[in-house]
Structure 1
Amino acid sequence: MQNHILFIDTETTGLPIDWTQPYSNNANWPYAVQVSWIIYTRDGAELKREDHYISDNDFEISPQALKIHGITRDFLTQNGQPRKFVMDLLYADLKHYQPMVVGHYMELDYNITGADFYRLGMDNPIASLPMYCTMLGSSQYTRNPQATYLRLGQLYSTLFNKPLHHQHNAMVDAEATAACFFEILRNGGITDGAIEKQRADRERRRHQPALKSGCGLSGLLLFAFTLLIAYWL
C-alpha cells in the first residue's frame, strides 16, 4: 500500500451515455460540479482536504442529477471556482503525494475527473496510480442475496451502526469513504492481495475480447455498471 491515500468523490451533471466512448466525445461525458478529496497517511492521519465547486458555465445540470445533489447553477455561480483552478489543485496533489486513490465506485470518479482533465488538455494522473473501490470491497458485508454491493450509506451504517447524513455532498461522501476504508482495513478486509485483485480485474475488463455477436464483453460489463450507477445514485 502507498504511504499516502487520497479519498475522492465527485458530484456531476448526470451520467455517461456510453461508457465505451472516448473523452473526445464531449457530449457523452458529464461534468463535475463538485470535486472533493482528502489525503491521509496510510496510518490514518489526515494531512489535507480540498472541497471545490465548479463555476464554469459550459454545462447544464440534468434534472435527475439536480434532484440527487441539489447543486444549482445559481449556487455554482456564487460559490464555484474555475474548473482549471480546481483540477490544477487535484493534479498537483496527485503528482506530489503519489497516493493510492480510493472512491466509493471508483470507476465513476476516475472517468469524471478523466473527462474534465481531458477538457483542459491535461493527462489524468490517476491512470498511473493504484486505486481501490470501497463499493467493490463492500461485497463481504452484503446480507441481501439480491445485492452484490452496498451503497455508501449502507456500508457506513453497517460498519458504524449509525446513519450517514447529508449524502451526495462530495466532501461528506469522501469523509465517509475514508472512514469505511480505514474500518475495513482495521478489520482485515483490505489487504495488498485485495488491492491487487481489484487492479487485475480492472485490467481484465479493459482487455476482454469481443464476443461473436460483435458486442465486446467489456461493453456488456460497462453497460451493467451503468445500470448499477443509476441504482447507486
Structure 2
Amino acid sequence: MREYLLFVDTETSGIPQDWNKPYSSRDNWPHIAQLAWVVYTRDGQEVKAENHYILSSDYDMSPASATIHGITPEFLREHGKPRHEVMRRLYDDLLQYQPLVVAHFMQLDYHMMGVGFYRAGLDNPVSELPTFCTMLTSARFLQYSTQPKRGLRLNELHQRLFGEPMAREHDALTDAYATARCFFALWQRGDIDEQIIMAQRPLGEPGKTVSRRWRPSLTHFIVVLALAALVALLLLF
C-alpha cells in the first residue's frame, strides 16, 4: 500500500444522466457542491483535512439532491468558493502525496473529480493514481444475502463494523472521515489487503483506455529487459 491515502467524498447537484458521455458534455454531468478529503499515512495517522463548498453560479441544484444533503443555492452563495480554487487545492495534494485514493461509491466520486478538474481547466491527477472503493469491497458481507450485491451503504458498513450509526450522513467531510475509519477497520480485520486493492477494476475517463494499473508492471518488465541486454553486452567484451 502507498505511503499516503486520500479519502474523498463529494456532494453534488444531481446524478449523471449517462456515465459514458465525455466530461465536455456539460448538461450530462452534475456539479460538485461540496468537496472534502482527508489525507492519512498508511498506518492511520491523519495528516490533513480539507472541506470546501463550491459556488453555484453556473448550475442549478436539483430539489432531490438538496433534500438529501441540505445544501441550497443560497448557502453556496454565502459559503462557496470558486471552482478553480478548490480543485487546485485537491490537485496540489494529489501531486504532493501521490496517494491511494479511497471513496465509498468511487465511481461517482472519481468522475465528479474528473469533471471538476475538466471544468477548472486542470489536468486530472486521479487518472494516474490507484483508487479503491469501500462500497465494492463491502459486497462480500452480502455474499449469502438475497439483497442485490451492490455493496453496503456507508452508514450500513459503519453500523456493521462499529455497532453504531454515523452521527451525520451526506456531509462530504463526515463521509470522508467515516470512509477512512471503515477502511482502516477492514484493513486491520484482514478484509482488505494489497491483493484486494489491486484487484479492483480501475476506472478511467469515459471514452479513454484504462491501463494505469499495469504501468508499474510494464515499467518493471522494460527495466529487466534493459538490464538483461546490458549484461549480455558486457559478457561479449
| TM-score (normalised: structure 1) | 0.85
Q: CA deviation at 1:196?
A: 1.2
| Structure-2 separation of matches of 1:52 and 1:34 | 6
Alignment partner, residue 147 of structure 1 = 148
Distance 2:78 2:179 in 1: 28
Q: CA deviation at 1:152?
A: 0.4
Separation (CA, whole Å) in 2 of partners of 1:137 and 1:122: 31
Structure 1 residues 87 and 207, CA gap change in structure 2 (3 angstroms): closer
**Which has the larger Rg?**
2
- Residues 9 and 35, structure 2, Cα contact 8 Å, conserved in 1: yes
1:123 CA displacement: 1.5
For residue 50 of structure 2, what is the aligned residue in structure 1? 50
Offset of residue 199 of structure 1: 3.5
| Preserved contact between residue 141 and residue 155 of structure 1 (Cα < 8 Å) | no
Structure 1 counterpart of 2:145, which letter? Answer: N
* 2:111 corresponds to: 111
**1:27 maps to which residue?**
27
Give the SS at the match of 2:170: coil
What whole-Å deviation, never above 9, does each CA across 1:119-148 have from its counterpart, x for those lacking one?
Answer: 122121111000000000101222632131
Matches within 5 A, 1:182-193: 182-193=184-195
After TM superposition, give the deviation of residue 207 of structure 1 in Å.
6.7
When normalised by structure 2's length, the TM-score is 0.83
Is the CA contact (8 Å cut-off) linking 1:84 and 1:120 kept in structure 2? yes
Shift of 1:77: 1.0
- For structure 2, which runs of at least 5 residues remain unmatched after alignment? 211-237
In the other structure, the counterpart of 1:100 is 100
Cα distance in structure 2, aligned partners of 1:42 and 1:167: 25
The ranges of structure 1 where at least 4 consecutive aligned residues each deviate by more than 3 angstroms after the TM superposition are: 205-208
CA contact (8 A) 2:5 2:41 kept: yes
CA shift at 1:78, angstroms? 1.1
Map 1:113-128; keep pairs closer than 5 Å: 113-128=113-128
In 2, Cα distance between the equivalents of 1:5 and 1:110? 15
Aligned counterpart, 1:198: 200
3-state SS in 2 of match to 1:135: helix
Query: What residue is the counterpart of 1:39 in the other structure?
Result: 39
User: Are residue 134 (structure 1) and residue 146 (structure 2) matched?
Assistant: no
Identity of aligned residues (%): 47
Give CA deviations for 1:128-180 in whole Å, capped at 9, x if unaligned: 00000000010122263213110000000000000112100000100100000
**Partner Cα distance (1:126, 1:147) in 2:** 29
Unaligned runs of 5+ in 1: 209-233
Q: How many residues align?
A: 206
Is contact 1:131–1:199 with CA below 8 Å preserved after alignment? no
Distance in 2 of aligned mates of 1:102 and 1:115:
18
Could you tell me which residue of structure 1 aligns to residue 159 of structure 2? 157
Choose which of 175, 178, 181 in structure 2 pairs with 1:179: 181
CA contact 1:130–1:199 (8 Å) conserved in 2: no
Code of the residue aligned with 1:25 in structure 2: it is: S
